[in-house]
């Protein structure tokens, strides 16, 4: 999807000016969403719906830009979702590890003096 776009050094008109495919990654999700909506509207309004008329090169460029913007937007969302899931997993595991450490401390505290003496490293 990106090859032809990058190869031909195409740019996408945004509210921040003309941007390359690489620069799209610097946009916030709301900015990407607004851009995708405007590109989608431009594509839908470009020729009207017809199966008889071929889309023009401009229409293809708009569709290509829309596909790239959507890919960047969805990828960023997937990364955010993965980070949230990873943070939740870490929080859960830290809680379990703390409980394990507490149980070990309790088990050690419940040992007799003789058992504790035998455990000393000499």
pLDDT digits (tens, 9 = 90+) for 72-115: 999 999 999 999 999 999 999 999 999 999 999 999 999 999 99
32-60 pLDDT, tens digit per residue, is: 999 999 999 998 887 655 656 666 778 88
Q: How many residues does the chain have?
A: 122
Helix (H, G, I), strand (E, B) or coil at 14: strand
d(CA 66, CA 121): 68
Pairing label, strands 17-19, 12-14 = antiparallel
5-39 pLDDT, tens digit per residue, is: 999 999 999 988 999 999 999 999 999 999 999 99
């Amino acid at each position: 999807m990106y090859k032809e776009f990058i190869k031909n050094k195409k740019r996408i008109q945004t509210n921040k000016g003309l941007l390359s495919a690489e620069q799209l990654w610097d946009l916030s999700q709301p900015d990407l969403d607004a851009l995708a909506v405007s590109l989608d509207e431009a594509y839908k309004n470009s020729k009207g719906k017809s199966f008889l008329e071929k889309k023009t090169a401009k229409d293809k460029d708009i569709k290509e830009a829309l596909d790239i913007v959507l890919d960047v937007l969805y990828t960023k969302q997937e990364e955010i979702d993965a980070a949230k899931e990873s943070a939740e997993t870490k929080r859960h595991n830290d809680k379990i590890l703390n409980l394990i450490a507490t149980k070990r401390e309790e088990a050690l505290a419940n040992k007799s003096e003789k058992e504790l003496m035998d455990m000393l490293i000499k």
